[in-house]
Amino acid sequence: MHKHALIIGIDQYKDAQINELRCAENDAYDMADLLRRQCGFVQVECLCGNDATFDRTVTALDTLGHGLCPEDLLLLFFSGHGYEDSQHGHMLLLYDTLRRTLATLPNNVLHVQRLEKHLTRNFRGHFLFLLDACRSNLDRAKSAVAPTLGEVAARDISTLSKGASSLDIRVLCACKPGQQSFELAEEKHGAFTLAFTRVARSRLDRGEAVAIAGDFVEEMETELSDLLAAHGFAERQQPWLKGGADKLILVPGSNLRKRPRAKSRQVEQPKLTTEPSATQIASTIHRHEPGKTKDIPLGGSGIRPLELVYIPAGAFIRRAGSEKGDASGREVILTRGFWMGSAPVTQAQWYQVMEFKPSHFKGDPDLPVEWVNWIECQRFMQTLSDMVGPDGQFRLPTEAEWEYACRAGTNTKYYFGDESERAHLTDYAWYASNSGGHTHPVMEKAPNAWGLHDITGNVFEWCLDWYGSYDSETCTDPQGPANGRQRVLRGGSWNKGEAECSSHYRAKADPGEQQPDIGLRVVLPEM
pTM of the model: 0.56
Q: Are residues 216 and 287 in the same domain?
A: no
Number of domains present in the structure of the chain: 2
Domain boundary among 255, 287, 315: 255
Q: Are residues 241 and 314 in the same domain?
A: no
Average pLDDT over residues 496-523: 94
Instruction: Tell me the CB-side half-sphere exposure of residue 304, using CA atoms within 13 A.
Output: 21
Q: What is the pLDDT of residue 316?
A: 94
Establish if 260 belongs to a structural domain: no
Establish if 325 belongs to a structural domain: yes
Q: What is the pLDDT of residue 118?
A: 83
Lowest pLDDT segment from 83-97, 151-165, 187-201, 322-336? 151-165
Q: What is the pLDDT of residue 301?
A: 65
Q: Are residues 300 and 239 in the same domain?
A: no
pLDDT tens for each residue of 455-465: 999 999 999 99
**Confidence tier at 123 by pLDDT (50, 70, 90):** confident
Average pLDDT over residues 198-222: 90
**Confidence tier at 70 by pLDDT (50, 70, 90):** confident
Instruction: Judge whether residue 343 has pLDDT over 80.
Output: yes
The 3-class SS string of 390-417 reads CCCCCECCCHHHHHHHHHCCCCCCECCE
Average pLDDT over residues 428-457: 96
Q: What is the pLDDT of residue 94?
A: 95
Domain boundary among 199, 222, 255: 255
Establish if 319 belongs to a structural domain: yes
Average pLDDT over residues 158-167: 37
Q: Are residues 246 and 293 in the same domain?
A: no
Instruction: Judge whether residue 326 has pLDDT over 70.
Output: no
Lowest pLDDT segment from 31-35, 276-280, 383-387, 443-447? 276-280
Q: Residue 152 belongs to a domain with what CATH number?
A: 3.40.50.1460
Q: Are residues 73 and 181 in the same domain?
A: yes
The boundaries of the domain holding residue 318 are 279-345+359-373+392-525
Q: Are residues 112 and 245 in the same domain?
A: yes
Distances from the Cα of 379 to the Cα of 16, 203, 241, 354, 384, angstroms: 30, 22, 31, 8, 8
Q: Are residues 62 and 124 in the same domain?
A: yes
When the pLDDT of each residue in the chain is averaged and rounded to a whole number, the result is 82
Strand order in the sheet with 475-476: 314-319, 329-334, 475-476
Q: Are residues 315 and 251 in the same domain?
A: no
Q: Are residues 227 and 318 in the same domain?
A: no
Q: What is the pLDDT of residue 327?
A: 46
Establish if 106 belongs to a structural domain: yes
Q: What is the pLDDT of residue 444?
A: 95
Name beta bridge partners: 251.
210
Establish if 507 belongs to a structural domain: yes
Label residue 469 exposed, middle or buried (CB < 10 Å: 0-12, 13-18, 19+).
Answer: exposed
Closest CA to 304 of 451, 406, 441: 441
Establish if 291 belongs to a structural domain: yes
Instruction: Judge whether residue 278 has pLDDT over 60.
Output: no
Strands 338-341, 475-476: pairing is unpaired
Establish if 265 belongs to a structural domain: no
Instruction: Judge whether residue 474 has pLDDT over 90.
Output: no
Strands 460-466, 487-490: pairing is antiparallel
Instruction: Judge whether residue 449 has pLDDT over 50.
Output: yes
Q: Are residues 70 and 154 in the same domain?
A: yes
Inter-helix orientation angle 24-38/191-205, to 10°: 20
pLDDT tens for each residue of 77-108: 999 998 876 666 788 999 998 877 655 565 68
Instruction: Judge whether residue 226 has pLDDT over 90.
Output: yes
Lowest pLDDT segment from 251-255, 257-261, 309-313, 483-487? 257-261
Q: Are residues 124 and 207 in the same domain?
A: yes
Establish if 230 belongs to a structural domain: yes
**Confidence tier at 437 by pLDDT (50, 70, 90):** very high
pLDDT tens for each residue of 483-504: 888 999 999 999 999 999 999 9
Closest CA to 518 of 491, 486, 479: 491
Q: Residue 427 belongs to a domain with what CATH number?
A: 3.90.1580.10
Please indicate whether residue 225 or residue 43 has the higher confidence score (pLDDT).
225
Please indicate whether residue 347 or residue 1 has the higher confidence score (pLDDT).
347
Q: Are residues 206 and 295 in the same domain?
A: no
